[in-house]
Amino acid sequence: MKVDSSMDKELNDFIKNYQPSATTLKKFYEYLLENGFEITNQEFIDNQKDIRFFIKRSMAVKLWGEEAQFKVYVTRDRQLLESFAYLNDSSKLLARAYHPVPNR
């Protein structure tokens, strides 16, 4: 799915800034209980970080599609994020390896 620049900006803002509110979490917890899920309040609190992440990822896929879900997911993958720091350097090294500067 091709998104226009305004949708791309909205997605980037969402990824960078959105966190489900306390109200959203409370409603989600109530939803779980009403639908027969067995989870204690303490279990829910202990897993709040993961629950917030899954809510955010679910919202991204519904609003912007599969690619958005991946973009939210990679914000949590520390190894992948660290590898991005090396991409610029590796591109330069590859360019030099395949296009060596002639000796003078």
Query: Comparing 24-28, 63-67, 93-97, which segment has the lowest mean pLDDT?
Result: 93-97
Q: Which of 54, 100, 104 is nearest to 75 (CA)?
A: 54
* Residue 1's pLDDT band (cuts 50, 70, 90): very low
Given this model, what pLDDT does residue 40 score?
A: 96
Contact of 57 with 72, CB cutoff 8 Å: yes
Token pair belonging to 2? 């091709």
Rounded to 5 degrees, what are φ and ψ at 75? Answer: -65, -15
pTM: 0.66
Rounded to 5 degrees, what are φ and ψ at 39? Answer: -150, 130
How do the domains of the chain map onto residue ranges? 5-98
More confident residue, 41 or 81: 41
Token pair belonging to 28? 């989600």
With the C-alpha atoms ordered 11, 12, 13, 16, is the resulting torsion angle positive or negative?
positive
Tell me the CA distances in angstroms from 85 to 11, 72, 78, 81, one per residue in order. Answer: 22, 18, 11, 7
98, pLDDT greater than 70: no
